[in-house]
Amino acid sequence: MNVSGLLGYFATFAIAAGAYSIASLGLNVQFGYTGLYNFGIAAFFATGAYVEGIITGGPSMEHLGGFDLPVLVGVIAAMVVSAILAYIIGIPTLRLKGEFLGISSLGIAETIRLIITNEKWLAGGVWGLGDIPRPLGNLVGPKTYNWVYLGLVLAVVGIIYFLVQKIVKSPWGRVLKAIREDEGVAAAMGKNVYKYKMQSLILGSVIMAVGGAFYAHYVGYLSPESFRPLMGTFIIWAMLMAGGKGNNKGAILGAFVVWGVWTFTEFFVNYLPSGLASRAGYINAIFIAILFQVLIRIRPQGILGGE
């Protein structure tokens, strides 16, 4: 592999890591600052990606859309749909023990996956949804395009980081932290815990959807396979826990580190004996699972530690 190839590889890597850091920031709002356990990140990530694909994609006979609309319209639509989804899942669960949000969000992620798998008219079914355009693609040639898109993604990461940072330092954010530490105390202070949790759940999910939307442009083609629990949910949890829950820099750092580990091991397992090589993806998943167990045992606060 020559230098420009390696650099190109790095750009692709960083774009994916960038999209994941957005999702990881979203999870940080929910879990890191409010203590909400969302085990169904895939639902919001996938919703964001698919809505983006349908809104901005080229017209297709196979599925709904594409409407060929601007990227910004797509992102806003993705945010709205995912906010509604979060609201629906919040109603039955946020008054109850935290486990129920976990279980129900896991359920909604599975249901979303069933919908994108079964409803060919909507999302292309197992054939997937293609022809997702490259934003700003007409500005530069295909060779340098990845760098332009990387710049765009990193800018979005920066904006979201800045906004989340502002939000969690605001009085509203302090209430979230109070809820995370002790719900009873927050309630005793006269705060409507349910309302705050709902707002946090929605905010986080909307951010995840933005991550999904930019992920959609990166891959250019979506299929239900990309939103299996491992790639849609687990890996993002591993990212946040690695970087440090309750720390926005950590959320981003964790995404790059875990995605780096993932890409590296993927690269590495290709050299396994041929019998095992076909199962490399599984071994990689086992590795992520073990990494996570070690993390919560040895360093539950992550690399950077929370606030």
Partner 1 sequence: MNFVVNGLILGSIIALGAIGLSLTTAILNFYNFAHGASLLLGAYMGYTVLSEFLPRLGLSGSTFPYLSFGWQMIIAILGSMGLTAVIMIAIDRFVYKPLRDRGSGPLILGMSSLFMALMLRNLVRTIWGPSVHYYSNEIQMVQEFPLGIRMTPDQIFIIGLAILLVILTQLFLKRTKMGQAMRAASDNIDLAMITGIDTEKVVIWTWGIGTALAAVAGVLYGINVQLRPMMGWYFLLPLFAAVIIGGEGNFYGALAGAMTVGIAQEVGTPLLQNMFDSINIQVSMTGYKPAIAFVLMVIVLLVRSYGEE
Residue with tokens 């076909």: 278
Q: Is 182 in the site for partner 1 (CB under 8 A)?
A: no
Q: Is 44 in the site for partner 1 (CB under 8 A)?
A: no
Q: Is 110 in the site for partner 1 (CB under 8 A)?
A: yes
Stretch that binds partner 1, among 13-21, 134-142, 215-223, 290-298 (CB under 8 A): 290-298
Residue 288 Cα to chain centre, angstroms: 16
Q: How far apart are the first and last CA of the chain?
A: 42
Residue 134 to residues 54, 70, 75, Cα–Cα distance (Å): 14, 11, 14
Q: Is 96 in the site for partner 1 (CB under 8 A)?
A: yes
Q: At closest approach, how far in Å is the CB of 222 from partner 1?
A: 18
Whose CA is closest to 260, among 7, 14, 4?
A: 14
Q: What angle do CA 219, 50, 266 make, to 5 degrees?
A: 35
99, 181, 182, 225: residue in contact with partner 1 (rule CB under 8 A): 99
- The residue count for the chain: 307
Residue 219 Cα to chain centre, angstroms: 14
288, 301, 306, 307: residue in contact with partner 1 (rule CB under 8 A): 288
Q: At closest approach, how far in Å is the CB of 39 from partner 1?
A: 6
Q: Is 70 in the site for partner 1 (CB under 8 A)?
A: no
Stretch that binds partner 1, among 64-72, 101-109, 215-223, 251-259 (CB under 8 A): 101-109
Q: At closest approach, how far in Å is the CB of 145 from partner 1?
A: 35
Q: What's the maximum distance between 2 C-alpha atoms anywhere in the chain?
A: 62
Q: What is the phi/psi pair of residue 129, to 5°?
A: -130, 120
Report the alpha-carbon distance of residue 293 to residue 177 in Å, rounded: 25
Q: Is 290 in the site for partner 1 (CB under 8 A)?
A: yes
Q: State the amino acid at position 70 in one-letter form.
A: P
Q: What angle do CA 165, 145, 231 make, to 5 degrees?
A: 55
- For partner 1 (CB under 8 A), the number of binding residues is 42
230, 231, 261, 303: residue in contact with partner 1 (rule CB under 8 A): 230
Report the alpha-carbon distance of residue 218 to residue 19 in Å, rounded: 9
Stretch that binds partner 1, among 138-146, 180-188, 253-261, 295-303 (CB under 8 A): 295-303
Q: At closest approach, how far in Å is the CB of 289 from partner 1?
A: 4
Stretch that binds partner 1, among 70-78, 105-113, 129-137, 185-193 (CB under 8 A): 105-113
Helix extents (H) in 57-136? 71-93, 98-118, 120-123
Q: Is 114 in the site for partner 1 (CB under 8 A)?
A: yes
Whose CA is closest to 156, among 67, 218, 234?
A: 218
- Closer CB to partner 1, residue 76 or residue 228? 228
Report the alpha-carbon distance of residue 166 to residue 172 in Å, rounded: 10
- Closer CB to partner 1, residue 210 or residue 257? 257
Q: Is 296 in the site for partner 1 (CB under 8 A)?
A: yes
Report the alpha-carbon distance of residue 249 to residue 120 in Å, rounded: 39
Q: At closest approach, how far in Å is the CB of 200 from partner 1?
A: 16
Binding site for partner 1 (CB under 8 A): 37, 39, 91-96, 98-100, 102-104, 106-108, 110-111, 114, 117-119, 121, 229-230, 234, 237, 276, 279, 282-283, 285-286, 288-290, 292-293, 296-297, 300
